[in-house]
């Protein structure tokens, strides 16, 4: 007997609640990215170029996050797209991570090519633009901070803004060193440091995105614990074919076969199991197949 505990209307993804904040953060990042690129090329500042490149990832990342949210909101599940386009948010987060890796490699290449003859970088323009960029990043950081706790997609944009905020601080240090000492290597070294500082955070974002795409169980849920809890429901003889995965941020999904002992009500077992998953594990969407002991034997014959 198959039962599906689902909702008639697709729920809003976690990042959908932060649409307005993402739009504002995108506008801020776009304006200051253009300013930083213009001044970086005018002054030959690798630190400012590195920060501008990170700002570009902010623009692209937030734009992809917005596109994914709008796509998910407009496309409801259909008979051919049974989960709609909610996974678009995870793909956007993975693309952001790959983009950040690319930026780090580019900055390293530029630094190596300049190592023998570092150009003279004027400190004042870099200092002014770095300060303005820092202010812009702080505003965007505050806009996205709460959403980053709920949505992997928003978290991708948030991490980029956070990394770029640290990058702006590095640009300020680079400009101050250049102004006070005239040391030409300061800009290059800090530019490389900015590029590599973000890599561990980028790795974590990519790892989380791939975990969802490969449909691994959520990191904060213990599948064996869930199986044991279901097994303890009165009337449950056996739990098998249990799968728990994340559709997108804030949307955990589960499916399982539950064998009911003779004499117990299948409906009562189903209801108790659904309540347990919702109450103890925050899994609202669970597809549970409740079957008798005779029907359960077929599952052992399946090859996967």
Question: What letter would DSSP give residue 259?
Answer: E
Instruction: Check residue 59 and give its pLDDT.
Output: 81
Instruction: Check residue 87 and give its pLDDT.
Output: 80
DSSP sequence for 95-132: HHHHHHHHHHHHHHHHHHHHSSSPPP--HHHHHHHHHH
Pairing of strands 285-292, 236-248: unpaired
Instruction: Check residue 267 and give its pLDDT.
Output: 93
As given in the structure block, the two tokens for residue 154 are: 């928003």
CB burial class (10 A; 0-12, 13-18, 19+) of residue 144? buried
Distance separating alpha carbons of residues 267 and 249, to the nearest angstrom: 30
Candidates 185, 199, 190, 167; CA nearest to 51 is 167
Instruction: Check residue 5 and give its pLDDT.
Output: 46
Instruction: Check residue 75 and give its pLDDT.
Output: 60
Low-confidence ranges of the chain (pLDDT < 50): 3-13
Confirm whether pTM is higher than 0.85: no
Question: What letter would DSSP give residue 286?
Answer: E
Candidates 280, 276, 281, 245; CA nearest to 258 is 276
Instruction: Check residue 235 and give its pLDDT.
Output: 93
Instruction: Check residue 225 and give its pLDDT.
Output: 96
Distance separating alpha carbons of residues 265 and 304, to the nearest angstrom: 29
Candidates 152, 159, 164, 162; CA nearest to 55 is 164
209 with 90: CB under 8 angstroms?
A: yes
User: CA dihedral in degrees (144, 145, 147, 153; nearest 10)?
Assistant: 70
Strand ranges for the chain from DSSP E:
2-5, 236-248, 251-260, 285-292
Instruction: Check residue 223 and give its pLDDT.
Output: 95
Instruction: Check residue 297 and give its pLDDT.
Output: 63
Q: HEC states along 130-173?
A: HHHHHHHHHHHHHHHHHHHCCCHHHHHHHHHHHHHHHHHHHHHH
Distance separating alpha carbons of residues 51 and 57, to the nearest angstrom: 10
Instruction: Check residue 270 and give its pLDDT.
Output: 94
Q: Give 161's contacts (C-beta < 8 A, 6+ positions apart).
A: 25, 29, 58, 137, 140, 141, 144
Going from the N-terminus, what domains does the chain have, and what CATH number goes with each?
Answer: 11-213 (1.20.1510), 223-301 (3.30.70.1350)
13 with 160: CB under 8 angstroms?
A: no
As given in the structure block, the two tokens for residue 64 are: 């992809």
């Amino acid at each position: 007997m198959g039962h599906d505990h689902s909702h008639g209307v697709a729920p809003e993804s976690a990042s959908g609640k932060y649409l307005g904040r993402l739009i504002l953060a995108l506008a801020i990042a776009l304006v200051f990215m253009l300013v930083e690129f213009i001044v970086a090329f005018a002054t030959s500042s690798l630190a400012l170029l590195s920060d501008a490149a990170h700002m570009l990832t902010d623009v692209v990342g937030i734009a992809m996050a917005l596109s994914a949210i709008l796509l998910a909101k407009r496309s409801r599940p259909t008979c051919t797209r049974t989960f709609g386009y909610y996974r678009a948010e995870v793909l956007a987060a993975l693309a952001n991570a790959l983009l950040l890796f690319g930026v780090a490699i580019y900055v390293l290449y530029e630094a190596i090519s300049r190592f023998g003859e570092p150009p003279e970088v004027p400190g004042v323009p870099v200092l002014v633009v770095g300060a303005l960029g820092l202010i812009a990043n702080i505003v965007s950081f505050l806009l996205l901070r709460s959403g980053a706790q709920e949505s992997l997609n928003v978290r991708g944009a948030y991490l980029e803004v956070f990394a770029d905020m640290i990058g702006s601080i590095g640009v300020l240090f680079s400009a101050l060193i250049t102004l006070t000492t005239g040391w030409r290597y300061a800009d290059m070294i800090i530019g490389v440091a900015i590029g590599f500082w973000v890599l561990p955070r980028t790795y974590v974002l990519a790892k989380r995105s791939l975990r969802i795409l490969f449909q691994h169980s959520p990191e904060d849920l213990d599948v064996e614990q869930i199986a044991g809890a279901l097994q303890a429901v009165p009337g449950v003889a056996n739990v098998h074919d249990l799968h728990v995965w994340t559709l997108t941020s804030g949307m955990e999904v589960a499916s399982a076969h539950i064998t009911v002992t003779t004499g117990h009500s299948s409906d009562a077992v189903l209801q108790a199991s659904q309540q347990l998953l919702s109450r103890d594990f925050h899994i609202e969407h669970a597809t549970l197949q409740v079957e008798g002991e005779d029907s359960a034997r077929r599952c052992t014959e399946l090859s996967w």
